[in-house]
Structure 1
Amino acid sequence: MITLTGKSVFGGIAIGPLVFYKRNEITIKRNRIEDTEQEIRRFTDARDQAVSQLKALYEKALEDVGESNAMIFEIHQMMLEDLDYQESVVNIITTQGVNAEYAIGTTADNFAAMFAAMDDAYMQGRAADVKDVSERLLQILSDNGGEGMKLVEPAIIAADDLVPSETVQLDKDNVLSFITMFGSANSHTAILARTMNIPAVIGLGEALKPEYDGRLAVVDGLEGVVYIDPDDATLAKMRSKQAEELAKKALLEELKGKENVTKSGQKIHIYANIGNLGDVGSVLKNDAGGIGLFRSEFLYLESETFPTEEQQFSVYKTVAENMAGKRVIIRTLDIGADKQVGYFGLAQEENPALGYRAIRICLKQPEIFKTQLRALYRASAYGQIAIMFPMIISVEEVRRIKDIVREVKEELREEGFAFREDLELGIMIETPAAVMVSRDLAKEVDFFSVGTNDLTQYTLAIDRQNQKLDDFYDAHHPAVLGMIRMAAESAHAEGKWIGICGELAADLSLTEVFLDMKIDELSVAPSMVLPLRKKVRESL
């Protein structure tokens, strides 16, 4: 048995024969050309044919994975029509007197190297795109046409890498999984895989060898592990794990598309909490109605320095696109307390939970805040993003936030960036102070989201990180539930909606209590979406 370890793109278990992706390999030769004008016409004719193919791929992807994810093929069309790309090809043909194939291959290598050298992960992912469109041109010029590989039986697809057009052309009914030697988690192929619910592992490196073609393999997309020629014990274990996944899938299929509505007709939104881009696949897989909490601080926790506007924009944009019009509520950075980041240079505090954290950092260091807000507003042009602010204690804080938001929007307008003017702004209700002035706060914002973890901590004056206090910590305390009810009444009195994104949202013993409070939305871990839907549908 051979065990390979990579990076999971989408979870699930796949068992079947391994088939290496077979391309129409093209050897690019440098040939001298006398009639450069004729060679340029060959290039432009191939480009026009490629654009037609990409339009057809767009239509197919539109049906398979939705408009947002199909847009990659419109982007590929734009790449082919990009003047810099075209001028590079034409210039190489003209000045060097060479064939179109050589000029295209050289341009592809140059542009891909340029993208790969950029610091931004999203732009690095575009290196594969420029090679994809160039390969399409080369296939057309060699009369190979660009047809995808045909599968005659279900199989696990293996490749050095897979570009978007190859992924979308695969026969989904026969694809059990895909695994690659290389690839980026930010690539459009990875996004498509997550959207199409195909278990996938990337970054297996040179250990994934073509000689494994035809062998039995197991892909554990949950752990990012691939087993080649699994032994009997491993195979039995993986089949058991697969059966558990299939049972969960059966539950998903049973409840998928059904409303979150009680027997008496009361409806509630059920959203999912996520920490990073990789969690979006679980949100889609579990049929959540949206994302109720995107913990953006993980972008900071996983970085060695402040993430740039472009880096943040790339992540927020991708999440918005993947969610295809469903609401995505992104919490601005909640650093401090138990989430320390070295490069922020935060001083040691005796009571960090009561100290310099979350919105307090943002208001004291507005340059950090504005960078994130710019990225969020720019990404709002690609989906239904909403923003919420943590650790609010006063109306004055909200008004200061809104002033900064106005500055950011004016800057973006002047710079010509598109964004949604009607983007929803909300606040976290996680301090007793916010609850006590919640009626006034509701006049200033579009929604509330209750962070029950901190609200419980601050209401009971108990450090939730202190294990010695576990016996005293009671998330069901009447005072905590009373705080949530008061916040709900204040929100509704001002015509605003309220959700809960803390751990209590997934506490099924409290679901009927929250329904009685007329809570509008519950946001939970993706794995809890379906159990919560089941509980709601069984409630009176």
Structure 2
Amino acid sequence: MLKGIPVSPGVAISTALFLESKSITTEKKSITKEEISTEQQKLEVGITQTEEQLTKLHQQLLDSVGEEQASIMSAHLMLLKDPAFIDEINNHIQNDLIDVSSAVQVTVDQFVKIFENIDDEYMRERATDIKDIGNRLIANILGKSEEKTIQPEGSFILVSDDLTPSETVTLPRDRVKAIIVAKGGKTSHAAILARSLGIPAIMGIGEQLAIEIATGDSLIIDGSTGEIFINPDAALISAYEEKQKEEQKEKEQLALLKDRKAVTKDGTPIELVANIKGPQDAEEVLEQGGEGIGLFRSEFLFMDRSSLPSEEEQYDAYSEVVKNLGGKPVIIRTLDIGGDKHLPYLDLPEEMNPFLGWRAIRISLSRPALFQTQLRALLRASAHGKVRIMFPMISNLEQIQEVKRILEETKKQLADESIAFDPDIETGVMIEIPSACLIADELAKEVDFFSIGTNDLVQYTLAVDRMNEHISDLYDHFHPAVLRLIKMVIDASHRNGIWTGMCGEMAGDLHATEILLGLGLDEFSVSPTLLPKIKHQLLQLSMEKAQQVAQHALSLGTPAEVQEYAIASHSVS
């Protein structure tokens, strides 16, 4: 058996088809100054041809799975036409005196290196997208085909060392039963597309994939657990065929919950909302029965581009989501950049400890023009629905007081210009630093809500870099210290008449649901695909028992004890 990262749920039973990557190799060639213009003309022709291909793929996605997934190809087109990308290629041609295909490769390698060193998983996976665009552009310049071809008839499980978004789009959906890829993770665009297409997928297996699996092998894959069984016996096949039937039944049952409110068995209502990266994700929230947006990560509007988005661009994006939600609440987090997320055009300095450095609200407060532009766009969007503004990485009382002063100043500007906005717009603090937990009573007097960001809170509380493989086992949101800080924050909010939500990964952990409910959490904000399962879980729980479970969990001494207890409690709920 092999095990990888489960990225798209579902069981598949079929025959393996192993596809080797057709890598485009470039041999660096020197050119003369007289040849510069010729090479730059080749670049223009290659870009035009690549643009035509990506536009065609964009239309294919629009027709098959809709605008949300088609936006992946839109992002590819934006990068292809990004002046910074094109200028860098031209600079290498002109200054390094190398041929155009080599210049593209050097530029792509530069961009890939930047993205691969980003801690954020979603942004790190964009390195594959850049390689995809680069390979396609180089192939067009050289007059070669860079895509894999699928010829066999009948159904199969696709096995590959790597899979780009454009290759995923062109898969024969009626014959591909599942996807197994050596590279990639949950946030790769190939994984996102696999989930959208309903194809079970496992990624990140590594080099063992090519050693263990060959074309023609019989396979079972479980996209929920990441397990791959090679040439299984009849008994195992029969067991997984039964699991396929159970999955389909569960899917049909969860779909029936779409319009039900998340209310515990003893009548406690819980707000169940979703995290999104952009306007393209809003539709899925409604399809999955979400009651609103608990976290709109506004920084994604600032990425994959060569300059700051204007007030109008931001306003259009925010208002699109607000209008699509039809009156349901939308929490938009102000720019959370720095740390692992870099914007080249902001010219942020290199730092010894970027996660403890100049990032998030610290940048916003030091760049008032940048901050006010975003606040203006957010306030204007509030005229179209229920917008709530959330401020990230607040560590002291002075910061939130200064934020509120700038917000009031921005409101006055808009009022003087007779521009509509919600004057009573709600504001909140993202609780992700231990100091914020410890002064939660004081912070609660300044805002309307808290939202706990467990990803950073766990990292900062335990002094663990979750991306460091040597100590990643120490990163655990079941740590008693983390639970006690969460309890401290929730109690402080309730004492001061406001509510607390959670938008970190812990909110989507089914084993943690009962403990969080018992700690008093008012809102769960999770990935849209998790909404039905979390809702189903909440409907099965009682607040009385959850409080008992949480109280016992708080008395335990180790993360392992808490997790073991949580799993045991979950299994009998």
Compute the TM-score of the two structures, normalised by the length of structure 1: 0.57
Does the 8 Å contact 1:370/1:404 carry over to 2?
A: yes
Q: Within 5 Å, give how 1:319-468 maps onto structure 2.
A: 319-468=321-470
Aligned-residue offset at 1:276: 1.1
What is the alpha-carbon distance in structure 2 between the residues aligned to residue 378 and residue 247 of structure 1?
45
Q: Which residue of 2 aligns with 1:278?
A: 280
8 Å Cα contact 2:285/2:528 also seen in 1: yes
1:303 alignment partner in structure 2: 305
Q: 1:233 aligns with which of 150, 170, 175?
A: 175
Distance 1:537 1:356, change over 3 A: same
Give 1:61's aligned residue: none
Q: TM-score, normalised by structure 2?
A: 0.54
Superposed, 1:495-514 pairs within 5 Å as: 495-514=497-516
CA distance in structure 1 between the aligned counterparts of 2:173 and 2:287, rounded to whole angstroms: 30
Across the aligned residues of Structure 1 and Structure 2, the Cα RMSD in angstroms comes to 3.0
Q: How many residues align?
A: 331
Question: CA 1:234–1:432 in structure 2 vs 1: closer, same or farther (change >3 Å)?
Answer: closer
In structure 2, do the counterparts of structure 1 residues 292 and 235 end up closer, same or farther at CA, with 3 Å as the change threshold? closer
Per the TM alignment, residue 377 of structure 1 is displaced from its structure 2 partner at its CA by: 0.1
Q: Which residue of 2 aligns with 1:539?
A: 541
Rounded to whole Å, the distance in 2 between the matches of 1:477 and 1:431 is: 16
**1:363-398 residue CA offsets vs partner (Å, 9 max, x unmatched):** 111110000000000000001110000000111111
- What is the letter of the counterpart of residue 472 of structure 1? L
Matches within 5 A, 1:237-252: 241=199, 250-252=252-254
Whether 1:6 and 2:58 are equivalent positions in the alignment is yes
Q: Distance in 1 between matches of 2:253 and 2:452?
A: 28
- Mapped to 2, the partners of 1:340 and 1:385 lie a distance apart of 27
1:108-187 to 2 correspondences below 5 Å: none
User: Is the 2:296–2:333 contact (alpha carbons within 8 Å) kept by the matching residues of 1?
Assistant: yes
The superposition leaves residues 327-350 of structure 1 with CA deviations (integer Å, 9 ceiling, x where unpaired) of 000000000001111111111111
Shift of 1:266: 1.8
Where 1:340 maps in the other structure, the secondary structure is coil
Q: Could you tell me how far apart the structure 1 residues matched to 2:500 and 2:426 are?
A: 13
* Percent of paired sites with the same residue: 45
2:360 maps to a residue whose letter is A
CA distance in structure 2 between the partners assigned to 1:436 and 1:236 by the alignment: 48
Q: Deviations over 1:269-319 (max 9, x none)?
A: 110000111111211111100000000000111321111000000000100
Q: In 1, Cα distance between the equivalents of 2:321 and 2:364?
A: 23
CA contact (8 A) 1:252 1:286 kept: no
Unaligned 5+ residue runs, structure 1? Answer: 14-222
Q: Is the 8 A contact 2:360 2:392 kept in 1?
A: yes
Does structure 1 conserve the Cα–Cα contact (< 8 Å) formed by 2:254 and 2:536?
no
Residue ranges of structure 2 left out of the alignment (5+ in a row): 1-52, 67-164, 180-193, 201-243, 543-573
| 1:318 paired residue among 320, 327, 333 | 320
Larger Rg: 1 or 2? 1
Alpha-carbon distance, 1:463 to partner: 1.3
Q: Which moved more, 1:528-537 or 1:461-470?
A: 461-470
Q: Which amino acid aligns with 1:491?
A: S
Counterparts of 1:395 and 1:240, CA distance in 2? 46
CA contact (8 A) 1:10 1:281 kept: no
- Give me the whole-angstrom Cα distance separating, in 2, the residues matched to 1:529 and 1:346: 37
| C-alpha contact 2:464 2:472 (8 A) present in aligned 1 | no
